[in-house]
Structure 1
């Protein structure tokens, strides 16, 4: 079962670009997110779209990030024998603090009474939700 989801957290290690056997590139990352009970949960992330790959590769270990995409939830057995949740995501969109600041600036420049009719255009390395 897959779920459309938004995950927010901090990168655990710097994202890495990899190449498949077919020669296509993808980016993997791990995000440490808090669950509803305040516990940390690791989300294994993979990105295939050029814009999501570029946005992830621009980030470093510890950077805050929000990801939209397809989430899969499963379980695995930990070394101590306990059952833990396993969460993975295929990220289609990436949003960082940089993108939020850029959007706020754009809205502020339009004035208090106006909102932009559409989001400002962004380059491939800066993704908009």
Structure 2
């Protein structure tokens, strides 16, 4: 004890980094954008609960897992539209959209552009 009854301050080091980043799970998901992915799929890959995944995903990206996936799918569709001559239905499928209509809607909503633009 210090004078005046005050306890001694002992500095304790920060715990070691536990590797809680979801970077590996995001990379895994990027390789599978063409597949239907759920929060449960992402949580299973990250070996965490859906609730923890959702919280950590938001902390790291600022988005929920579905929002992040949609954003990445729009980016993938843009890349394919700009760099290939693939038909729209194939671009939609490779980007993870069920239909060309869905691709058009999301691309227009996110970018303000149509696929042909």
TM-score, normalisation: structure 1: 0.24
Higher helix share: 2
TM-score normalised by the chain length of structure 2? 0.26
Who wins on radius of gyration, i.e. which is larger? 2
Higher normalized strand content (fraction of residues): 1
Using CA pairs under 8 Å that are at least 6 residues apart, name the structure with larger relative contact order, 1 or 2: 1
